[in-house]
A and B are shown apart, each in its own frame.
Chain A
Amino acid sequence: MANTLQLEVITPSKLFYRGEVELVIVRTTEGDEGFMANHSWGVKLLAAGELWFKEAETKKFRVASLAGGFIDVKENIIIFTDAAEWPEEIDVERAKEERRKAEEWLKFPSEDDIEIELARTAIRKSTVRMNVKEGGLKQRQ
């Protein structure tokens, strides 16, 4: 019986998820990182990426897309993100369209660093969303 911890995923508009989990895997700015109960405490920044967690009750992995944010690891884990989506909520056509547009911008790079950064972020986010729709980049059981 593995130890469990509470995971909360909060977005500006709602409480996205709250539940007991065994394992949480997120994409931090330094790469994928997994957290289980009794992890050392910390605050880490998240890149746009997949969120994986194994629910304590069903023992199944669930996946969602995150649009960057931060994770606060204490006895429980709080993830605050700008946007989060379940696979069934993702509109693939829109994600494709967004990526196409962002790639278009990058073809004619403007002087504005912020704009380039925005386009890069948009590409990353839409790629993540497409991957999540397919069930995630890596299959986890």
Chain B
Amino acid sequence: MAGNNMRDIKRRIKSNTSMEQITKAMKLVSAAKLRKAKSIFDRIQENFNYVSESIEEVFHNADGVPDEYLAGGREIKRTAYIIITSNRGLCGSFNSNVIKEAVTLMENDPGEPVIIAIGSKGRDYFAKRNYEICAEYMLPPEDISFLDVRNIITRPVVGMYNRGEIDRIILVSTRFISTLTQETETQTLLPLEVGEKNLGMPALPYSMEYGPSVEEVFNYLVPKYVEIRLYSAIVESATSEHAARRMAMESATDNANEMINELTMNYNRARQAAITREITEIVGGAEALA
């Protein structure tokens, strides 16, 4: 009986050790990927903040912004949700947080939601539950190019918006705050919420010239603005994914270590018990003979 028990423990130690090796390797890979993704993210962040700031500045200061792009410009019946998840699992609650947030939003939305899924985890979840998915992007998010964002996502989505098939575009993604914390974030891409942004945005001291016309400028800038916000959100989400996976793998490695220690202790105890019993048996036997 004791032999059996010991063999069991030994087997569990072995499988835990190999598990620990795997999670450790994955942690190192994620750390390397995180570094790479973060450098791209930082670079984009700097440039894009600039551009979106300058676009926002224009939005508030022009009188000619077409009504349809502004909040309150039309009644909101259908909302499109752009949901950014990852393609791979083993990253803690990264995907489930985003999905949970999106589901809550949709439950509170009386209209029928339209879903644009970026990343297969979100796609699979909503496809299984029979939501309408109008566009999807399944390649690894860190390889996405600006052109892909435009052709696959923004062009059709903004087109639907302009045709009145959808009245609002909401983006659910993960914000990268630090390598230890990531937060789910919801932002409305369209219509533009001017009221909120007027705060802290001083009016421009000079009047602006628009060429060829205000309307054309806005017809160009609005999709561009959506593209920029979306692209940086995708890159940010990829960075968060690696950070989340690194954390998940780190705690998995820690847990495996802890378990191995405990099992080793149990194993030694079982071995010691077996030895003690054998000695008692021998001593007992010798006494009986004497």
Contacts and interface: CB of A to CB of B under 8 A. Distances in A.
A14 B47 contact: yes
B47 A40 contact: no
Interface residues of B, number: 26
B51 A42 contact: no
Contact of A29 (B46, B145, B204, B211): B211
A10 B211 contact: no
A78 B146 CA distance: 19
A44 B217 contact: yes
B208 interface: yes
Nearest to A42: B209
A76 B13 CA distance: 65
Interface string B53-91: 010001000000000000000000000000000000000
Contact of B146 (A12, A43, A70): A12
Q: Which range contains the number of A residues in contact with the other chain?
A: 20 to 34
A57 B64 CA distance: 39
B204 A42 contact: no
Contact of A15 (B47, B147, B209): B47
Candidate in A40, A43, A73 with the most chain B CB atoms within 10 angstroms = A43
Contacts of A29: 211-212, 216
Interface in B190-245: 204, 206-212, 216-217, 220-221, 224, 228, 231
A14 B209 contact: no
Contact of B221 (A13, A15, A30, A70): A70
A70 B220 contact: yes
A15 B50 CA distance: 11
B54 A72 contact: yes
25 contacts: A8-B50, A10-B51, A12-B228, A14-B47, A28-B212, A30-B211, A30-B212, A40-B206, A41-B207, A41-B208, A41-B209, A42-B208, A42-B209, A43-B208, A43-B209, A44-B209, A44-B210, A44-B211, A45-B211, A70-B224, A72-B54, A72-B58, A73-B209, A78-B51, A80-B224
A42 B47 contact: no
A133 B106 CA distance: 52
B174 to A, nearest CB: 21
Given A40-B206, A78-B54, A45 B47 contact: no
B43 interface: yes
Nearest to A33: B211
B146 A45 contact: no
B58 A43 contact: yes
Contacts of B217: 43-45, 70
A78 B50 contact: yes
A46 to B, nearest CB: 10
Nearest to B51: A80
A14 B46 CA distance: 10
Given A10-B47, A82-B146, A41 B212 contact: no
Interface string A27-68: 011100100000011111100000000000000000000000
B51 A28 contact: no
Contact of A45 (B43, B51, B54, B212): B212
A35 to B, nearest CB: 11
A10 B48 CA distance: 9
Candidate in B146, B204, B210, B211 with the most chain A CB atoms within 10 angstroms = B211
Interface string A72-111: 1110001010100000000000000000000000000000
